[in-house]
A and B are shown apart, each in its own frame.
Chain A
Amino acid sequence: MDFFIKYLLSILIFFPVVSIFLLLPVNKKNEGILRNFSTFLSLVEFIFSLYLFIYFKQNTYKFQFVEKFNWIPSFGASYFLGIDGVSLFLILLTTLLTFISLLSSYRYIKEHVKEFVILMLLLETFMIGTFAALDVLLFYLFWEFMLIPMYFIIGMWGTGKRIYSAVKFVLYTLSGSLIMLFGLIYIFIMHYDQTGDFTFNILRLYNTHISNGFQLILFIALFLGFAIKIPLFPFHTWLPDAHTEAPTAGSVILAGVLLKFGVYGFFRFAIPLLPSAAFALSPFVIILGVIGILYGAFVSIVQKDLKRLVAFSSVSHMGFIMLGLFAMSAISVDGSILQLLNHGITTGALFLFVGMLYERMHTRQIKDFGGIAKKAPILTTFFMISVLASVGLPGLNGFIGEFLILIGSFHSYPVLTIIATSGIIFAAVYLLWMFQRVMFQDITNPAAESFEDMNLREIITILPLVALMFLIGFYPMPFLERIDPTVLHFLSMINHHHKAVYNAIKLKAGLSNA
Chain B
Amino acid sequence: MHNMPSIYGINFLEKSMLSIIPETVIIIFAFMVLFLTFFEKLAKRKNSYYLSLIGICFSILYVLMLSGSNIYGFYGSVVFNSFDVFLFIAILFSGMFTVLMSKDYMENSEMPVPEYYSLILFGLSAMMFLVSSNNLIMVFLSIEFMSICAYILTGYIKGNTRSTEAALKYFILGAFASAFLLFGAVFIYASTGHLNLYAIHSFLQNISYADSISRSGGMGIKVYISVGLILFLVGLAFKMSLFPFHSWTPDAYDGAPTPITNFMATGIKIAAFAVFLRIYSLIYNFNIMNFNDILWLLAVFSMTFGNIAALLSSNIKRLLAYSSIAQAGYILVGIIGGGFYGYSGTLFYLFSYIFMTAGAFAVVVIFESSDIISLDIKRYSGIGYKYPFIAASMAFFLLSFAGIPLTSGFMGKFYVFSSAVKSGYNWLVVIALLNSAFAAFYYIKIIVKMYMPDEEPVSIIRGAIDDGLMITIIICLILTLLMGVYPQIFINFANNSADSLWRI
Interface residues of A (CB under 8 A from B): 71-75, 112, 137, 140-142, 144-145, 147-148, 151-152, 155-156, 162-163, 166-167, 170-171, 174-175, 178-179, 181-182, 185-186, 188-189, 192
Given known A-B contacts A112-B385, A148-B404, A179 and B452 have beta carbons under 8 A apart: no
CB distance from A165 to the nearest CB of B (A): 11
B451 adjacent to A155 (CB under 8 Å): yes
B418 adjacent to A185 (CB under 8 Å): yes
Q: A residues within 8 A CB of B426?
A: 182, 186
A145 adjacent to B487 (CB under 8 Å): no
Q: A residues within 8 A CB of B492?
A: 74
Residue of A nearest to B403 (CB): A178
Given known A-B contacts A171-B440, A179-B433, A155 and B448 have beta carbons under 8 A apart: yes
Q: A residues within 8 A CB of B414?
A: 75, 137, 181, 185
B441 adjacent to A167 (CB under 8 Å): yes
CA distance A189 to B415 in the complex (A): 12
Residue of B nearest to A180 (CB): B433
CB distance from A142 to the nearest CB of B (A): 8
Q: A residues within 8 A CB of B385?
A: 112
Complex partner residue of A179 from B399, B430, B441, B486, CB under 8 angstroms: B430
- Nearest first, the 4 closest Cβ-Cβ pairs linking A and B are A175-B437, A141-B405, A178-B433, A74-B491
Complex partner residue of B434 from A71, A142, A175, CB under 8 angstroms: A175
A162 adjacent to B452 (CB under 8 Å): yes
Complex partner residue of A156 from B404, B440, B451, B487, CB under 8 angstroms: B451
**16 A-B pairs (CB sep. < 8 Å):** A71-B486, A72-B491, A74-B492, A137-B414, A141-B410, A145-B404, A148-B399, A151-B444, A152-B451, A155-B448, A156-B452, A163-B448, A167-B441, A174-B437, A189-B418, A192-B422
Residue of B nearest to A143 (CB): B405
State whether the Cβ of B488 lies closer than 8 Å to any Cβ in chain A.
Answer: yes
Q: B residues within 8 A CB of A181?
A: 414, 417, 433
State whether the Cβ of B436 lies closer than 8 Å to any Cβ in chain A.
Answer: yes
Interface residues of B in 383-423 (CB under 8 A from A): 385, 399, 404-406, 410, 414-415, 417-418, 421-422
Residue of A nearest to B402 (CB): A174
State whether the Cβ of B495 lies closer than 8 Å to any Cβ in chain A.
Answer: yes
Given known A-B contacts A145-B405, A163-B448, A189 and B421 have beta carbons under 8 A apart: yes
Q: A residues within 8 A CB of B495?
A: 74
Q: B residues within 8 A CB of A72?
A: 486-488, 491
Q: A residues within 8 A CB of B440?
A: 170-171, 174
Residue of B nearest to A151 (CB): B444
B436 adjacent to A178 (CB under 8 Å): yes
State whether the Cβ of B270 lies closer than 8 Å to any Cβ in chain A.
Answer: no
Q: A residues within 8 A CB of B404?
A: 144-145, 147-148
8 other contacts beyond A171-B437, A171-B441, A175-B437, with CB at 8 A cut-off? A72-B491, A75-B491, A155-B448, A155-B451, A178-B436, A181-B433, A182-B421, A185-B429
Residue of B nearest to A193 (CB): B422
Interface of A is mostly: helix
A to B contact number (C-beta, < 8 Å): 86
A141 adjacent to B441 (CB under 8 Å): no
Complex partner residue of B488 from A73, A171, A182, CB under 8 angstroms: A73
CB distance from A63 to the nearest CB of B (A): 23
CA distance A33 to B483 in the complex (A): 35
Given known A-B contacts A74-B492, A140-B405, A182-B433, A189 and B452 have beta carbons under 8 A apart: no
CB distance from A110 to the nearest CB of B (A): 14
Residue of A nearest to B407 (CB): A145
Q: A residues within 8 A CB of B406?
A: 141, 145
Binary per-residue interface labels of chain B (272-299) against chain A in the complex, 1 for a CB within 8 Å, 0 otherwise: 0000000000000000000000000000
Q: B residues within 8 A CB of A147?
A: 404
Q: A residues within 8 A CB of B399?
A: 148
B421 adjacent to A170 (CB under 8 Å): no
A155 adjacent to B452 (CB under 8 Å): yes
Q: B residues within 8 A CB of A155?
A: 448, 451-452
CB distance from B64 to the nearest CB of A (A): 23
Q: A residues within 8 A CB of B410?
A: 141, 144
CA distance A72 to B399 in the complex (A): 21
Binary per-residue interface labels of chain B (454-490) against chain A in the complex, 1 for a CB within 8 Å, 0 otherwise: 1000000000000000000000000000000011100
Interface residues of B in 69-84 (CB under 8 A from A): none
CB distance from A129 to the nearest CB of B (A): 11
Residue of B nearest to A173 (CB): B437
Complex partner residue of B430 from A112, A137, A141, A182, CB under 8 angstroms: A182
Residue of B nearest to A70 (CB): B488
Residue of A nearest to B415 (CB): A75
Residue among A74, A140, A166, A188 facing the most chain B CB atoms (10 A cut-off) = A74
Q: B residues within 8 A CB of A166?
A: 448, 452
CA distance A166 to B444 in the complex (A): 10
CA distance A39 to B448 in the complex (A): 27
Q: A residues within 8 A CB of B452?
A: 155-156, 162-163, 166
Complex partner residue of B444 from A74, A137, A170, CB under 8 angstroms: A170
CA distance A179 to B451 in the complex (A): 28
B491 adjacent to A186 (CB under 8 Å): no
CB distance from A5 to the nearest CB of B (A): 26
CA distance A167 to B399 in the complex (A): 14
CA distance A185 to B451 in the complex (A): 34
Q: B residues within 8 A CB of A112?
A: 385
CA distance A71 to B484 in the complex (A): 12
Residue of B nearest to A176 (CB): B437
Residue of B nearest to A217 (CB): B426
Residue of B nearest to A221 (CB): B430
Q: A residues within 8 A CB of B445?
A: 167
CA distance A145 to B403 in the complex (A): 10
A189 adjacent to B437 (CB under 8 Å): no
B448 adjacent to A167 (CB under 8 Å): yes
CB distance from A226 to the nearest CB of B (A): 16
Q: B residues within 8 A CB of A175?
A: 434, 437
Q: B residues within 8 A CB of A141?
A: 405-406, 410
Residue of A nearest to B487 (CB): A72
CA distance A181 to B404 in the complex (A): 12
CB distance from B180 to the nearest CB of A (A): 36
Given known A-B contacts A74-B491, A141-B405, A178-B437, A188 and B418 have beta carbons under 8 A apart: yes
CA distance A310 to B365 in the complex (A): 47
Q: B residues within 8 A CB of A179?
A: 430, 433-434
CB distance from A191 to the nearest CB of B (A): 12
CA distance A142 to B487 in the complex (A): 16
CA distance A359 to B293 in the complex (A): 60
CB distance from A150 to the nearest CB of B (A): 12
Q: A residues within 8 A CB of B448?
A: 155, 163, 166-167
Given known A-B contacts A74-B491, A185-B418, A178 and B434 have beta carbons under 8 A apart: yes
Residue among B421, B422, B433 facing the most chain A CB atoms (10 A cut-off) = B433
Binary per-residue interface labels of chain B (130-154) against chain A in the complex, 1 for a CB within 8 Å, 0 otherwise: 0000000000000000000000000
CA distance A152 to B440 in the complex (A): 15
Residue of A nearest to B440 (CB): A174
CB distance from B390 to the nearest CB of A (A): 15
Residue among B404, B410, B430 facing the most chain A CB atoms (10 A cut-off) = B404
CB distance from B125 to the nearest CB of A (A): 32
Residue of A nearest to B418 (CB): A185
